[in-house]
């Protein structure tokens, strides 16, 4: 009896890792690869103007985390920037890479309410 349950446990342990990458890959193909998007966002310098957390800065570029732009508008901003942002052509960022960056930006979590951080409370 003990042997049987050990064999079952071993079989489950062997199968589990095989299942996980498949679901991760599925998520990546349907929604863009968040991890790759994060790496690109840093590697090609988006963070220099938009901040490491996509939070934006007054003088360099607006917030892009949790962007509400539709994907095609986002792509259009990369290819034909509205104003001062440098253009990123397909040779530099493919549509697929851009979709990964988009997915990365979309899922950046909302920062905590400043009032919930004791150090940031003024006058208390």
Q: Which of these segments, 2-10, 19-27, 71-79, 109-117, binds ligand HEC (CB under 6 A)?
A: 71-79
The answer to whether residues 108 and 102 touch, using CB atoms and an 8 Å cutoff, is: no
* Own/partner long-range contacts of 61-65 (Cβ < 8 Å, ≥24 apart): 61/85, 64/105, 65/105, 65/108
Residue 44 in contact with ligand HEC, rule: CB under 6 A: yes
Other CB atoms within 10 A of residue 50 CB: 22
Nearest CB to ligand HEC, comparing residues 59 and 119: 59
Interface residue list for ligand HEC (CB under 6 A):
44-46, 48-50, 60-62, 64, 67, 69, 74, 77-78, 81-86, 88, 93, 101
């Amino acid at each position: 009896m003990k042997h049987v349950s050990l064999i079952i446990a071993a079989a489950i342990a062997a199968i589990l890792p095989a299942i996980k990458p498949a679901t991760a890959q599925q998520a990546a193909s349907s929604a863009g690869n968040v991890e790759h998007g994060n790496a690109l966002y840093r590697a090609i310098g988006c963070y220099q103007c938009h901040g490491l957390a996509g939070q934006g800065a007054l003088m360099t570029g607006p917030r892009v985390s949790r962007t509400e732009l539709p994907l095609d508008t986002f792509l259009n901003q990369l290819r034909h920037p509205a104003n001062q942002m440098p253009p990123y052509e397909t040779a530099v960022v493919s549509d697929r890479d851009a979709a990964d960056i988009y997915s990365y930006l979309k899922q950046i979590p909302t920062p905590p309410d400043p009032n919930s951080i004791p150090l940031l409370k003024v006058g208390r």
